[in-house]
Amino acid sequence: MVFDRDAVVTVATGNAGKLRELLRLWGSDPPLLIGPGASYVEVAETGATYEENAVLKAVALSDRIGAPALADDSGIEVEALGWGPGVLSARTPSPDSSWQERNAHIIAACDAFGDLARRARFVCVCAFVVPGSPPLVARGEVEGSIAFAPAGDSGFGYDPIFIYPPFSLTFAQAGEEKKDSVSHRGRAVRAMRELLRNRYS
């Protein structure tokens, strides 16, 4: 399949917060990015890496709809957890945990080890799949630390406990514009945009 820059690209996610962020980061320049709607079906994230999971999700949706698809896999890595939970971030401490429970779990692990183990990073990998073509993969990372308590009302997931040192704020306190300028997902999306320009311009 020859990729048309005026094509519609469907996002392979059932996470409403992630979808809003991806649509905002992607912007209005072609190709058009849209949510999956009824096309989305949960895919088991069996990969050992962010890259494997992102490609797995993008390929599954692209095969299902016969059109281009974009997926991301992302997570937080914390020194106090041996640089986990990583790809298990949305399933820690259990698949049924709320985000409040996940944030509390991370903070408790850091508290147990002391201030020297509060270093953390967010990682995001985007995969873009066009039927019949090899996937494009782009990665973004941002370094920070874990807060002593959640703070801020913006963002989602682990944003209330991830401090970005140059801002001295959590991502949830920084607001969308500041967060987008430095976030792991923002960096991955911008890198993906560049890969698309290079391959399909």
Which residues participate in catalysis according to the annotation?
73
Whether the CA torsion 24, 124, 32, 27 is positive or negative: it is positive
Decide: 61 and 36 in contact? Cβ < 8 Å: yes
Q: Which amino acid belongs to residue 146?
A: I
Using CB atoms within 10 Å of the CB of residue 95, give its burial: 0 to 12 exposed, 13 to 18 middle, 19+ buried.
exposed
Cα–Cα distance measured from residue 155 to residue 179, given in angstroms and rounded to the nearest whole number = 9
Residue 190: how many CA atoms within 13 Å on its side-chain side? 10
